[in-house]
Structure 1
Amino acid sequence: MNVSFEHLTGLSVTVDEVQYDPTRPAPPDRPHPFVYHVSIHNDSQETVNIFGRKWIVRDTDGDTLVVEGDGVVGQFPKLEPGQTFSYNSYHVIKAESTATGSFFGTTTQGRPVCARIPRFEMHPPLLA
């Protein structure tokens, strides 16, 4: 089944904060954890149910990691007009990277909609 998602005017995403957090677990091949704080804003006139997301993380070495899944941090937010859903999570990277992506949902009328996640950068600290 091929679904076409459209942008819903008023449904938007902000990246509120990105910070390096060396206390988070990270595998040896991607030793740099970055916590990001994101908000999904519904300033449209329609109720939106968010059911999935897709992240694209690209590093300066040319490697790309695509992360797709159901929900948002284990939840399926229902955003009434005027509501915002905020959360934080993290990416682990091996080199300087950029991240972008989309959240996917449906209106209460069943129309598939999406909201782009603005691109943000992650710069690991220089190691001595």
Structure 2
Amino acid sequence: MGCAMYRAVTRNIQITVEPYYLAEESTPEDDQFFWAYTVSIENLGRETVQLMSRHWHIIDANGNSQQMDGSGVVGEEPVIEPGDSFQYTSGCPLNTTSGIMTGNYRMQTLSGETFAVKIPAFSLDLPDMVKTVH
């Protein structure tokens, strides 16, 4: 697929994102473009953490931006032990042919301390083979 991988590490928690365009879900003639992204959350540290919430910031090609907040990811609040990882796939619709997503996860340690883990900014772009015709 030749997908780009985006990576960021905060406090020994490594976030890797791999976005890809879903042509079969998209209807360019209606300005509906759909991407999926697979996120891998790896605990490289020594403390067990739990993912409590997420915050996304999405900007489309027209500069329209939207913020999205929610608890957990894909309906879970995964506990990630040292050396373990959690992976999930989600999706994002846009009305433009490209966009940028960034954000953070809020983690909590067993002792109750919370901290934010940066999600690397990643771009949603149409693959070269998909050209929209107007």
TM-score range, shorter chain: 0.7 to 0.9
Q: Which amino acid aligns with 1:86?
A: Q
**Deviation of residue 36 (structure 1)?**
0.4
**2:92 aligned partner:** 91
Given the alignment of the two structures, is residue 66 of structure 1 paired with residue 67 of structure 2, yes or no?
yes
RMSD of equivalent CA atoms: 2.0
Q: Which has the higher helix share?
A: 2
**1:100 aligned partner:** 102
SS in 2 for 1:23: helix
Q: TM-score, normalised by structure 1?
A: 0.85
**1:116 aligned partner:** 118
SS in 1 for 2:112: coil
- Whether the 8 Å CA contact 2:10–2:118 is kept in 1: the answer is no
- Whether the 8 Å CA contact 1:8–1:44 is kept in 2: the answer is no
**Deviation of residue 59 (structure 1)?**
1.4
**1:35 aligned partner:** 36
Q: Which amino acid aligns with 1:114?
A: A
Matched length: 120
CA distance in 1, matches of 2:63, 2:39: 25
Q: Percent identity?
A: 30
Q: Which runs of 5+ in 1 are unaligned?
A: 1-6
CA distance in 1, matches of 2:76, 2:23: 26
- Stretches (4+) displaced over 2 A: 22-26
Given the alignment of the two structures, is residue 126 of structure 1 paired with residue 131 of structure 2, yes or no?
yes
